[in-house]
A and B are shown apart, each in its own frame.
Chain A
Amino acid sequence: MIALYVLICIPLAGMVLQARLGDSRAAGSWNVRINALSFVAALWLAIEISNQGPTSTHGGEFRVDAFNVYLVLLTAFIGLTTSIFSAPYMENERVHGRVTAKRLRLYHSMYQGFMLAMYLVLTTNNMGFLWVAMEGATLATVLLVSLYRTPESIEAAWKYFILCGVGIAQALFGTVLLYFAAGQTGDPATASLQWSVLFAHAHALNPQVMSLAFVFLLVGYGTKIGLVPLHNWLPDAHSEGPTPMSAILSGLLLNDALYAVVRCKMLVDGSTGTQMAGYLMMGFGLLSFLVAALFLHRQKDIKRLYSYSSIEHMGIMTFAFGLGGPLATFAALMHMTVHSLTKSAIFVTVGHAAQVAKTQQLEHIRGLIKTQPAIGWGLLIGTMAIAGFPPFGVFTSEFLVLTATMQQYPWLTPLLLLGIVIAFSGLFHHIQPVVYGAVPDGQMPVEANLWPVAAHLLLVLWMGLAIPGVLSHWFEQATQTIAGSLPL
């Protein structure tokens, strides 16, 4: 497990280092290097886990199994590619005088702080510490949302802070109830907040208390996932912050909050033996999916548009985890991966597009494919992937979700199909003129590094054609732990 300690120490050291050097010209490339090191450590950890199976540290404070190892790898990968995009992007912002030296230090330091919080959320075995790390992620990002200090960005950051803070307080109450249930079993061995201990003794936990705890945990972490009606902060925070932040918030934070909910659901299911937790998640998921799909139509800001698309996809995943069968769980795990990859690629492209057009207003961004073909094509292909076109991975996972729904709750299938169509039309209605329309005056190409986008989209394409062996093995193992049996 040395790899795990290395993985946690690297961003910690990076945070301190960047707090001092974050305003130098080399800070961006240092950010890339630190993230590259983290990625190597994550690979090392992944190799260790695939050889040894689930491993815990001494004392059991950290635990890595098939469910979180692929998320760690995904987090490190997206952290790395986004930092590659971030370096020239922030340099451009600095040249245009939108950020001062002090704020650049804050930005680079908190980038690492956020990555640290994400790794801790994923690898910790302690449900209490998971909460602490999740709140830490909010604290690390809240000042980045208001980095530009415009009235809008300050408003967005305030909303983000208050809503997520209050929301996640509910999750802490749920965690207290969890600990309470663990202390009531009469067996001193279970009086612990460690997930593995609680999971092993889930049947002994009081079902009434656990159901109550789950309601609080779902509302709390659900605020972070952006589930409707707790989603209000998400489009604002994503649209007003610097674009690299939008990419990692959308690609990583939402996933990790969902990860926390699924861990809690596993405990509650073991205790109650009913579908209660699943029904709640299905309800919230479906509502988020449909509402966000409708809201896509009335957006005027390109980053808000894709934020609503994130809510929509988190809704699908929550719904699929709620369905709970092996097929649906497998699909949800895969959807987490492909959505993160595609969405962060889109945000990177959108960031460049906004710099090309010097605005985020959809009606003023036109004809990207003529001004700068790489960005235009990137945006078009990314949008096709996220809307669920074959042969991309999003199509595969959505298809699997639909199949699972047809098996378990056939009468919900029309709603899902309807939502997918509404979302598709919403996205293309806005993006078609952005890509093909007549070029407005003064729109100039910018220096852009698009290979992170290409890498992400190729991976998504690969996962749509054939899931790599290692990954499908992890997905199957994780499905086995979450749903109790293998898919197919």
Chain B
Amino acid sequence: MNDLIHHPLEEQAILFIAALVIFSSFLMLAQKRLASLVNVFAWQGLLLALATALSAHTQQSPHLYFSAGLNLTLKAMLIPWMLSRLIVKLDMHREIEILLYPSITLTAAASLVLFSYYVVLPIEHLSTLATRNAIAVSLGVILLGMLLMVTRRQAIAHVVGFMAIENGLFFAAVSATSGMPMVVEMGIAFDVLVAAIIFGVFFFHISSSIDSLDVDRLNRLSENES
């Protein structure tokens, strides 16, 4: 901890944002209403864009500003907007999901974060970049996104989990490598956008085929029944 105060202000700020990002992942796990889940997701996107802009400032790399802007429009505005519109359209904004074992879920989430710190130990010793804690945090965000998908039954919550995983990946790219090459970043953004659109199409298919978006009811194909 003594180490921390010797870092310049920007780095401390990025670490602080990293803490907020992982906190928002925990918040998502605890949300009962879909609309507030999407809101938290939008906040996480905003935090990521902020962190990216800050590292762009400290590292003097203009192309990170661009990815910050891309992330802001896509993850903090466009996708949350699409999702909340879908929630209204499918008349689900009042629905409250019953979380099974919330305390166990959150304990599992905490252990996953510890686990990701353990996994990235060899990298942390290596890193010459200031934001080395951030790699562990981003792996944590990825794992918590998966946990969100495992614990929820609503298809929209699955999509939010999926996009939160993308957030973690983006954070890893920014913090570990000061951003991927431009062409790759554009490609990833394009894929995410197309994925979001296809998810939107899917919601209508699923809700028209099983009359709800509860993916637990998608259970016709399995090896056990045959």
- Residue ranges of A at the interface with B (Cβ–Cβ < 8 Å): 61, 126, 128-129, 131-133, 135-136, 139, 142-143, 146, 149-152, 154-159, 161-162, 165-166, 169, 172-173, 176-177, 179-180, 183-184, 192-193, 206, 208-209, 212, 236, 240, 295, 298-300
- Whether A132 contacts B126 by the Cβ 8 Å rule is no
Known contacts A159-B221, A166-B162: A154-B172 contact under CB 8 Å? no
Provide 6 A-B residue pairs closer than 8 Å at the C-beta atoms, listed in order of the A residue.
A128-B187, A158-B155, A179-B177, A183-B177, A236-B221, A298-B226
- Whether B221 contacts A180 by the Cβ 8 Å rule is no
Selected from A156, A173, A193, A298, the residue in CB contact (under 8 A) with B223 is A298
- Whether B188 contacts A139 by the Cβ 8 Å rule is no
Task: Scan B60-104; emit 1 where CB is below 8 A from any A CB, else 0.
Answer: 000000000000000000000000000000000000000000000
Listed residue (A61, A162, A176, A177) with the most chain B CB atoms within 10 angstroms of its CB: A176
- Whether A154 contacts B209 by the Cβ 8 Å rule is yes
Listed residue (B172, B191, B194) with the most chain A CB atoms within 10 angstroms of its CB: B191
Within 8 A of A (CB), among B154-199: 155, 158, 162, 165-166, 168-169, 172-173, 176-178, 180-181, 183-184, 187-188, 190-191, 194-195, 198-199
How many interface contacts (CB-CB < 8 Å) are there between A and B?
127
- Whether A212 contacts B119 by the Cβ 8 Å rule is yes
* A177 and B120 alpha carbons, distance in the complex (Å): 10
Query: Is B112 interfacial (CB 8 A cutoff)?
Result: no
* A1 and B226 alpha carbons, distance in the complex (Å): 51
- Whether A180 contacts B177 by the Cβ 8 Å rule is yes
- Whether B184 contacts A206 by the Cβ 8 Å rule is no
Task: Scan B31-43; emit 1 where CB is below 8 A from any A CB, else 0.
Answer: 0000000000000
Selected from B128, B149, B180, B226, the residue in CB contact (under 8 A) with A166 is B149
Selected from A161, A176, A206, the residue in CB contact (under 8 A) with B177 is A176
6 shortest interchain CB distances as A-B pairs: A128-B184, A132-B187, A208-B122, A155-B218, A180-B176, A151-B209
- Whether B226 contacts A300 by the Cβ 8 Å rule is yes
Distance (whole angstroms) from the CB of A275 to the closest CB of chain B:
19
- Whether A139 contacts B194 by the Cβ 8 Å rule is yes
- Whether B122 contacts A176 by the Cβ 8 Å rule is no
- Whether A173 contacts B139 by the Cβ 8 Å rule is yes
Distance (whole angstroms) from the CB of B70 to the closest CB of chain A:
14
Listed residue (B139, B187, B221) with the most chain A CB atoms within 10 angstroms of its CB: B221
Selected from A143, A165, A173, the residue in CB contact (under 8 A) with B142 is A173
Consensus secondary structure, chain B interface: helix
Consensus secondary structure, chain A interface: helix
* A193 and B119 alpha carbons, distance in the complex (Å): 23
Q: Which of B10-18, B20-28, B46-54, B200-208 contacts A (4 or more CB under 8 A)?
A: B200-208
- Whether B205 contacts A193 by the Cβ 8 Å rule is no
- Whether B172 contacts A176 by the Cβ 8 Å rule is yes
Known contacts A154-B206, A154-B209, A295-B223: A193-B191 contact under CB 8 Å? no
Contacts of B181 in A (CB 8 A): 126, 128, 192-193
- Whether A193 contacts B165 by the Cβ 8 Å rule is no
Across the interface, name the chain B residue whose C-beta is closest to A132.
B187
* A298 and B101 alpha carbons, distance in the complex (Å): 36
Across the interface, name the chain A residue whose C-beta is closest to B201.
A143
- Whether B205 contacts A154 by the Cβ 8 Å rule is yes
Distance (whole angstroms) from the CB of A291 to the closest CB of chain B:
11
Query: Is B146 interfacial (CB 8 A cutoff)?
Result: yes
* A185 and B149 alpha carbons, distance in the complex (Å): 37
Selected from B122, B128, B218, B220, the residue in CB contact (under 8 A) with A212 is B122
* A208 and B126 alpha carbons, distance in the complex (Å): 10
Known contacts A158-B202, A180-B176: A173-B169 contact under CB 8 Å? yes
Selected from B123, B142, B146, B198, the residue in CB contact (under 8 A) with A142 is B198
